[in-house]
Each structure stands twice: as C-alpha cells, then as structure tokens.
Structure 1
C-alpha cells in the first residue's frame, strides 16, 4: 500500500478502516466524484485466514489480495488510501451554513478535515482464556461454519462452549462432520440442548478443559482435561466475544450496545449505517459483527451511497442559500 499524501483541503469523506466495508464505501463515494480518504491500519479481522469464502466469484481469494485489489480500485477513481492509525477523530467547527466538520489526527501527527466520517474499523475477536487456543486462531480454531466449515469438513471437531449460543454452533458444525464433541466448560446445557446433541450423536464432555495441545507439527492434537485425560481433536470451534474497534474514536460518542447472549458489543446504527452522531456513518463488523465479507462490503456500499446523497442535499441547500444572498 503506497503512502498517499494527505490532502490539505477539507475532503468530503474520511473512511476509517480499509477492509471490505470501508473500501466498498470509498469506492461508491469515489465513483460519485467525492473526495475521499481511507485510513487503513493494515490489520483486518480476517488476516489470519487463508482465504475469503462465501463471496460470489471471489471465493477462495486470500484476504490480503482482496484488499489490494480494492485499494487499487478506489485509487483508480481518484480516492486516496493511506497507511496509518487514527489517534483521534473529533467534531470540529461546522461550516458557516452548519455543515458538519471533523478533524482526524493520525498517530504520526498527520491531520485532515472532513465533512463526513464513515467508521468501518471492524470488530475484535476476544477468545476464551484457554492455554494454547489462540495459537491456532483462524486456522484450526474457527468460529463460523460458513466462513471455514467446508475446509474442516469430516474432521474430528470440538466445540468449546461459551454460553447457550454454543449449542446452535454445535448443530451447525454437526452438519459438516460426524465426529463432534461438545465441551461444556462449565456453561449451562439445558434439557432441550442436551437432547438435540445426543440425538445427533454428539458426545458431551463436562469435565473442565485446561489446555489445547499441539502435535509435533504444530497442529492441534487434542484437548487436555482437568483429570489428565485428552480428547483427540483436529479442529476447535468457539464463539468469541466481539468488541467494536473504536480506539481513538471515543470522543465521537458513538452509541454502543450489548449483543444478546453475552456475545459482545456493537455500535448502534440505523438505515444504511446512520448513527446518532450527525455526520457519522458506520458499516461492517463494527456494527454487524456477524457479517461476512460480502455482507460487510454491501453495507459499505449502502453507507457510501447514503453519505453521497446526504452531501448532495447539503450542497444543493448551500447553493440555494448562496443564490438568495446574491439576489
């Protein structure tokens, strides 16, 4: 990614986050002849994954390659993409006609001003504190059957439960393998959930899990239990706590709410990613943590189009007011 120079003038939109949502939002804006700058820290949520899946015509594309193409497309329409991390994004003095303004400061001291913000910073997956688990994240430790399921089909899979939603996760992964073990890890398993798992020949292990064990090649060998026994597994599926990435954006005051089932948090948004903060939109995993790449890209496109429409109305209003003054 080239270090494009930041413009000194006020730009129409700054997009914070250069993943699927941010880049697709920037693409829509650039194609509408808006001045747009994407600030990308280069740490997408799916960086550990070998490929993107469930994306029509691009299934199997490595994430890095997908984003490289996206950056080229945005630049091809006149957009700017810069490598950097946002230290602070704050509301600035509005224009004389009341149009919002924002100041975005990067950690290296660079600064720019924008009329609108699109926050597409994504979410952070927080794994349960099980020794050895994080070493395999994104490869043999997975969370989504639609993202990774085909690649782990027919393997011995273990579900590390984190709460009631883990039963549903187990049923989804049972579709992919006949060899599934459900580790309760102290979570409650009600009668209905237990009956469903047992009916599908899913073994339930209630002994505490103490460690994920690797073999000599570094792959998962199994799960060590508190009593010293080990259950052989090659893949583990686990629900993560999803936390919106809002470092440096706290002053904006974006509303955040808890997800059901203790699954984490998300930024609250309305139609096309609108928020309660005037001039700020959100898209992708920062507001829809379960969205895959395709859904995040679509949300970015919707937000970009909505921002452009909002700017069109603001520009038209300003033009009417200017003509009235001249008259």
Structure 2
C-alpha cells in the first residue's frame, strides 16, 4: 500500500474493512456503502481469474463475456461512487483491539495499521495445478477446469481431461472428441469404464510429461512418457484449491476440508458468519467452487448480515447512553446535607410547610 494511500485511511476506525477486492469483496463493499457504512477495501491486486482475460467471465447475467479485469474496474468505481474506499495493499495479519480489529499491512518499507469494527474476508483462493511441465503457462488460455466457465468456448474441439472421471463426463457434453488421461489418478471402477465406453470417451494410460505447443502458440497435444503425442486443443485439469487465509493465524478460524475433497476453505453459515465474533467471509475463501455470480451473491448476503450486526450494536449502545442514573434514597446513617436527592427534598418540604402544600391550607393533609 502506498504511503499516500495509507495516509488517507490510517487512524480511522472503519465500520467494515473488506480484505480482498474481487467479486465478493466489491459486491459486499458496494452494498455496505449504499447503507452509509464506512467501508474500506484492501486489495493485493492478484485476481484469480486474471489469466482468463481473453476468455472472459461467463454466466453473469447482463455482463456475459466481460473481461474479468474490466469487471473489477467497474466494481471499484461503483464502490467509490457511494463513498467506499478501495486501496492497494497486502494484509499480513489481524489483531484484536478493544474497539474491534487492527488490520496490519506490510510492504518492503513499512508496516501500517487500520482499525475496523467488523471484518469481511474475501481473499479467494489459489489454484494449485498438477505437476506437469508447461501447464501453468497455459492456465486460463487453453488449460481449464470448469465446464460452466469455459465449456461453451471449447465446444466441438479435441478436449483432453487430466485425471478426472467426473470432468470427462461433463466435458463430453461439449464435444464428441474427449480423451481421459488417468495420469496415476484413482483407479476407474468397472462401472466407470462402461460409462466412458458408452459415451465414446477414449482413455489413454501412461504418465503425462508435458504439452505440445504449435507455432501459433496454441495447445496441440499432450506428451506422454512413452514419447507419444495425443492431439488435443484444450486440456481440462482438476486443481487443488487452497484458500488464501494465512494472515488469519491466531484468530481461531480453522480451515476445513471441502465436502468434495477439492481443497480447504473457511467454514461459514448462510450469511457468511465464521462463528468468531466480528468476522465474516465470502467468495472462494469460504466456497471453493463458487463462480463469479455465486461469489457476488455471497458478498451481498454477508454485507446484509454485517450491517444488521452493526445496527444491533449501535442501538444497544444508544439505549445504554439514554439510561438515567439511579438515585438511592439517603439512609439514616448518610450525611443529611448530601446532595438534593428527591427523598431529602420531600422530607424538608414536609417539615417546613406542613399542611400548606404549594401555598394551600389543607386540613386533610397528614403531618
């Protein structure tokens, strides 16, 4: 985070600090800013879908095919239009404070801290790809993992699938020419072999050792340990999804295995609450398989939950400030001149005025 940017936000206690400026984080910040919450987004500038710049974002109603970086640019502008702040920075750790949290950022030169009443973690995940030479360089171009994100774009081409029976089934919807490379993965059951054969999916055994790229910088084939090359135009892989949550150490936010065994994620309820007071999470850090539309929806839901939590806290604080002080009647042992408590004033009036209450002679009044 630049010194100039930090100078504008340091020393302020924000209603909400959002860590991560992707789809989930920006969606939450937008909705919080619209209900007049002070909200700061700290973003490290490493969007997961940046490699898919040429492919685009899909399945997002009204923005079909938009560049992922353009989508985030528009989101930052929308947050700013309602008074929210988005700054560049990398959060290194979170610490509890009496009034909430200290969010510590660190760069090569210095450490800075901003204060927050509530936190939203929206840092996403890292795709850990299979160990095949050249695979990471093609990621997001002609190496994919999601049929809903990129299936239409690779339809009717030669598609290879690396190690995943289920992905072979899904991408068979998109092309008649699908080849599964088990590559040392789980053994196929007899039933799975029958299903693949019935669908016309080829299976090629042997270790995958690399990719063949043509002179137009396009994927042309999969290289096997035997030296053979199997022609493919697109390759589908199954990454291990690792939530970006290392900076949360010490806050009792354990990572849990995803039910499908594809990685680890933060556990949250339907509103994104982590179970730890003051901390919510949304997007891929708490839902590894969420696409852009689902991540945006999770951000909106978390924003509503956070705002309600703040509303409740603010209302309780306001009520406490309005509670009048309790006066204790003086005891026999107390100083008779101790303040002008109501009981003392009433006793003095009775003794002096007697029946002449408020200047009226009242023969029925008790002495």
TM surpasses 0.5: yes
Distance between the aligned counterparts of 1:32 and 1:7, measured in 2? 23
Cα offsets for 1:60-85 (capped at 9, x unmatched): 11011101110011111111100110
Q: Who is 1:89 aligned against? A: 94
Cα RMSD (Å): 1.5
Cα distance between partner residues in 2 of 1:251 and 1:132: 37
Structure 1 residue 139 displacement after superposition: 0.9
Q: Which has the higher contact order (CA 8 A, sep 6+)?
A: 1
Q: CA deviation at 1:326?
A: 5.4
SS in 2 for 1:48: helix
CA distance in 2, matches of 1:224, 1:40: 39
- Which of 183, 188, 192 pairs up with 2:181? 183
Aligned to 1:117, what secondary structure does the other structure show? strand
SS at match of 1:206: coil
Matched position secondary structure for 1:272: coil
Identify the residue that residue 22 of structure 2 maps to in structure 1: 19
Which whole-Å deviations, capped at 9, do the CAs of 1:132-185 have from their partners, x for residues lacking one? 111100110000011011111111000001xxxx21211110000111000011
Post-superposition, which runs of at least 4 consecutive aligned residues in structure 1 deviate over 3 A? 1-4
What SS is found at the alignment partner of 1:253?
coil
Pairwise CA distance, 1:233 = 0.7
Kept in 1: contact 2:10–2:112 (CA 8 A): no
Conserved? CA contact 2:142–2:233, under 8 Å = yes
Q: Secondary structure at the match of 1:91?
A: strand
CA contact (8 A) 1:182 1:203 kept: yes
Cα shift at 1:271: 2.0
What's the counterpart of residue 119 of structure 2? Answer: 117
**Alpha-carbon offset, residue 7 of structure 1:** 4.6
Native 8 Å contact 2:10 2:113 kept in 1:
no
| 1:111 positional shift | 1.2
Which residue of 2 is the match for residue 198 of structure 1? 197
Q: Which runs of 5+ in 1 are unaligned?
A: 96-100
Residues in 1 aligned to 2:240 and 2:195: alpha-carbon distance in whole angstroms: 25
Structure 2: stretches of 5+ with no match in the other structure: 327-367
Length-normalised TM-score, structure 2 = 0.84
Q: Per the alignment, in what secondary structure is the counterpart of residue 73 of structure 2?
A: helix
Question: Given the superposition, is the C-alpha separation of residues 283 and 55 from structure 1 closer, same or farther in structure 2, using an over 3 Å criterion?
Answer: same
Q: How far is the alpha carbon of 1:260 from its aligned partner?
A: 3.8
Q: Paired residue for 1:157?
A: 159
Contact 1:255 1:276 in 2 (8 A): no
Q: Cα distance, 1:211 vs. partner?
A: 1.1
- Distance in 1 between residues matched to 2:240 and 2:211, nearest whole Å: 19
SS at match of 2:247: coil
Aligned with 1:28 (options 20, 31, 40): 31
How many pairs does the alignment contain?
317
Q: Distance in 2 between matches of 1:129 and 1:250?
A: 28
| Secondary structure of 1:310 counterpart | helix
Shift of 1:264: 1.0
Match of 1:9 in 2: 12
Aligned partner of 1:54 in structure 2 is 59
1:189, 1:207 → 2: CA distance?
A: 14
Shift in CA distance, 238/41, structure 1 to aligned 2, threshold 3 Å: same
Structure of higher CA gyration radius: 2
Question: Deviations for 1:38-58, whole angstroms, at most 9, x for unmatched residues?
Answer: 001111110101211000010
Name the counterpart of 1:75.
Answer: 80
Give the C-alpha shift of residue 226 in structure 1. Answer: 1.4
2:324 and 2:162 map into 1 onto residues whose CA distance is 67
